[in-house]
Structure 1
């Protein structure tokens, strides 16, 4: 039964219905059966979604993967940041590449360069990049992998990077704040904890009292 269509409605009509169901409903719809899941992965679906939600976006010749990525970038840029497509692409890039252990300084530099290339000033790029970083950090899953990622970010720092290529104080603060609050129980020994605390003390003074004490 799962391989069969859920109704006699033509696929092109069903796609239009699914598109209008709302972005937040799509993951649940994909679980209804294999046909719905297949439709939500199709080129036609993402093209319909792009046309429906962003009718004024400039048309491009794209593969299926690029259509989906472009929709996600437009949606994130608009709904999360009130910005344009490039901000959404930067968010997706940062979230993906952080999982691959790419140095955060390199990623931040790439984001700054892309934002400046799209017409933002150095100050604007720095501010938007900071918002992107904080949003990515706040949307990471709470698991051991994220804990290790945050520790790496805390220890990397931004030594000798000029403005606007150094991450903002707000971003650095958020890394330590998550480590010492959301992931406090993940520290397995005093050495691990005090190494990270030493990094925090080298950047911030005074240290918030909730961060202290293992």
Structure 2
């Protein structure tokens, strides 16, 4: 009774949606384009609460990704999570990484894990540990080391590409550039393409933020890793 009272207090009695039970509201919501879900969840507190419920995300998962294996085991160190997390992983894999196959959910979860560790954590783990965790996840799910290395590099590149242009990203990229992975054996080291992407973003997107000391230090690191160095990195 309290729940119904709460519901009607946020929806006008003249509104037909106020009379619909939750399961019908959910069926309507999951048929609305995904880009509009954020606005839907802001209409009122009751709808906002529905978007926090497992039942809505379970319905969204079934409708939007009907082939997502519900009964597959999930080994490895990166958790699979509940329906909302699974939906986010599949949506990320499809829209950001352009994957839509049997490994799309695994790749999506790994992308979310790495992005959160790098951007959200106040003290992110060393990149070598994070990269090793990604490799271990793919190997635990039956992928070869070569395939695990290939997928991990794809995820690193996507995460670095999609970081916001802000001070936190600038500091993170500097740390990654200076950190290096020379002490890690293949396949637990980041690929050449990933290292290149880190320096490219620093010199092209954050070049104006670098002081003279950092710029010369980073150029020194870059010269040890890459040959030749692009002229744009030198400010030409």
- Normalised by the size of structure 1, how large is the TM-score? 0.89
**Displacement of 1:3 after TM fit?**
5.9
Give the aligned length. 209
Q: Aligned in 2, Cα 1:2/1:147: closer, same or farther, shift over 3 Å? A: farther
Which residue does the alignment assign to 1:116? 139
**Displacement of 1:23 after TM fit?**
2.3
CA distance in 1, matches of 2:8, 2:216: 54
CA distance in 2, matches of 1:164, 1:193: 30
CA distance in 1, matches of 2:60, 2:150: 30
Give the SS at the match of 1:181: helix
Which residue does the alignment assign to 1:162? 185
CA distance in 2, matches of 1:51, 1:32: 24
Larger radius of gyration: 2
4+ runs of 1 displaced by more than 4 Å?
none
2:70 to 53, 58, 63: 58
CA distance in 1, matches of 2:105, 2:34: 17
CA distance in 1, matches of 2:118, 2:129: 11
Which residue does the alignment assign to 1:206? 228
1:152 correspondence with 2:175 = yes
**Displacement of 1:132 after TM fit?**
0.3
Where does structure 2 lack aligned partners over 5 or more consecutive residues?
A: 1-6, 73-80
Measured on the aligned residues, the alpha-carbon RMSD in Å equals: 2.2
Which residue does the alignment assign to 1:30? 41
**Displacement of 1:112 after TM fit?**
0.6
1:141 to 156, 159, 164: 164
1:193 correspondence with 2:215 = yes
CA distance in 2, matches of 1:76, 1:58: 18
